[in-house]
Structure formats: structure tokens, C-alpha cells
Amino acid sequence: MEEKVITLAHGAGGRQTSDVINNIFKKNFANENLTADDAAVLPMDAGKIAFTTDGFIVSPALFPGGNIGKLSICGTVNDLSCMGAKPLYLSCAFVIEEGFPIETLELIAESMAKTAKEAGVRIVAGDTKVAGKGQVDGVFITTTGIGKIQEGVNTAGDLAKPGDAVIVTGDVGRHGCTILVARDSYGIDADVTSDCAPLWDAVKTMIDTTKDIHVIRDATRGGVGTVLYEIAEQSSVGIRLEKENIPVDDKVKGVCGMLGLEPLYLACEGRLVVFAPKEHAPAIVEALRKGKYTQNAAIIGEVTKENVGKVIMKTEIGSETILPAPGGELLPRIC
């Protein structure tokens, strides 16, 4: 690229748009399905597919443990994975602010390509728009994914049942904590990194252990606490947590302690919440602990018939409290 920053011409659909597409996106995303036309042409077997979209507006765009590009791949890969679907194809649509450094855009694209490769997914279609200075803050990316739902897997938010164990695949709240510290608005200096990671391998590990899994959700905005409340409502059940079993990184605990935050409500970007019959839970956790991103997997609670729609937490000293229902603005532009 001749230019150092994005200009409005890069979004006008002409020669300069082609420059960005060829020199940044095609260069990084090259694969045999990547389209040069209005749409990618993809072969499909008969069966069920999963289809999901997510917009990413995280600020700052670069943070310890990742950047908006890596996040945009992980987020959509993980949403597909949660449906028991092997991620196959992604599209990505960029809205970029006039004046955005091309070097940073390249870094983001490289990171997307690397993460897509790790997740075994192909970026096959895209779009690039440029908005004027001050009309969009930096870069926003929307990724959309198609995955193939694996035979015999049937997970959904309304399938949790009394007697299910509640599993998390690792320590909670790290992404939210990282963004909070990176924004520097609290003057806290802590060496926290985002948990941002693609989780298809983790899901595959679980369904290879047992197909009898009721719910898989990735805990992003709103954290594990929000997911638990959603499932409690959708499945009309209660949830009971054992606080001492919830894995939380010591540094995250420290930051949360200082600011009076509950790690269960801080976003994760590489953690799944899983509901499966109690008898399968130990085998699932054991298998997960061998995985790259799931070494701290743990059973953190169980599903109950009583307390429908509520999440009860048993503290270390044995008392029981109702986890407050999620709501309000915790931290804007977390993802």
C-alpha cells in the first residue's frame, strides 16, 4: 500500500477499494473459496447448518491477549461451536474510520487469518466501508459464520434439566477485566490478558466424550452470570453455584476486589458454560483439562427444580445468596 492511512477513497468502491482488498484482505485470507464476485460459492452437504452473526466494536482495538480481529473470528467461531456445529465459512464486513492507520489494519487482518487457520475455518466473503473522521471510532468488524451441525448433537438454551451439572471451561471474567485495565480509566496497573480463543476443539472434545450435552453457551457480554440467568429463564429451572469451585485468576480477583466487581459478570471471550447430566460431568471436565484453552475447566454448580429463573450462590462460608440479575451497562464496547 502506498498510503499510510485509510482515506474515504478506500471506501468508494473503485481502484483504491481494490487496493485495500487485494493488499490487505486477499493477501491474508487467500483460499480457494474466497470470492471475487458478489458472493462466495460454497459446496454444501445435506443436513443442518448453524448460521450466526456478531458485530465487534471493542475499544481499545488492540489489547493484551488479542485485538478486534482475533476477537471477531473467535466470537463467531464460538457461537457456531456452541450449537455443536463445526465452523466452516466466515464472512467479514469492515467499517473503518478515515485516517485509520493501514499498519494497524494489516495487523488486524493477519491476526484474523491466523485465528481462522487455527479454528479450521475459511474467510470467503467480505465488505469494506469507510466512514468520515469522527463518524466511526476506529474500526468495527462484523463476522458471520456457517457451520455444520454434527450428527447426534442437540444443544439449545431451553434444554437444561434438573440434575444437570454446570461446567465452565476455564477461569472467568478475564476479557472484561483486561479491557477495563487497558482503558486505563481506573488507573489500575495489572498484568491481565484476555482469554480470547477459538473453542471448536473444546466442543469437539466434549461431544467426542458424550453427545448427551444439553446446553453450550459462550459467556461473552455480561459474563457467566448473564448466561446462567438466560438459561435459568429459557429452561425454567433454578441454578445453584458453589462459589469456591468457580475458577478466577488471582489478578482478576485483585482488580475485582479493588473495584467491587463480581467476576461472574465480566465478559469472557474464550469460555463456555456447559450443562450436561451430572453423571457425564467428571468425564467432560477431565477431557477438557487436556485441551489448550480449557485446562481450568471445572464443575461450578447444578441445575435445580426449585428457584426457577434464579441463580443461587453458596459462598465459601456456607451461606446462600441470590446472584443479582444482570442488567444495566457494565462496561460498554467490551466486544
What residues between 184 and 213 interact with a copy of itself by CB under 8 A? none
Instruction: Count other C-beta atoms under 10 Å from residue 153's C-beta.
Output: 17
**144 contributes a contact to a copy of itself by CB under 8 A:** yes
Among residues 24, 40, 102, 303, which is the contact residue for a copy of itself, using CB under 8 A? 40
Least distance to a copy of itself, CB of residue 331, Å: 8
Inter-residue contact 111 to 146 (CB < 8 Å): no
**169 contributes a contact to a copy of itself by CB under 8 A:** no
Stated as kind and residue range, the H or E segment containing 122 is strand 122-131
Give the residue with the Cβ less far from a copy of itself, 210 or 234. 234
Q: What residues have CB less than 8 Å from 215, skipping those under 6 apart?
A: 155, 156, 157, 159, 160, 164, 231, 235, 273, 274, 275
What is the size of the binding site for a copy of itself (CB under 8 A)?
Answer: 86
**322 contributes a contact to a copy of itself by CB under 8 A:** no
**22 contributes a contact to a copy of itself by CB under 8 A:** no
Least distance to a copy of itself, CB of residue 51, Å: 5
Least distance to a copy of itself, CB of residue 236, Å: 14
Show the binding pattern over residues 222-261: x = contacts a copy of itself (CB under 8 A), - = does not. Answer: x---x-------x---------------------------
SS3 of 148, please?
strand
Give the residue with the Cβ less far from a copy of itself, 42 or 308. 42
SS3 of 280, please?
helix
| Residues 118, 126: Cα–Cα separation, whole Å | 20
**130 contributes a contact to a copy of itself by CB under 8 A:** yes
Least distance to a copy of itself, CB of residue 60, Å: 12
SS3 of 269, please?
coil
Distances (CA, A) of 79 to 50, 84, 139, 147: 9, 9, 22, 10
**332 contributes a contact to a copy of itself by CB under 8 A:** yes
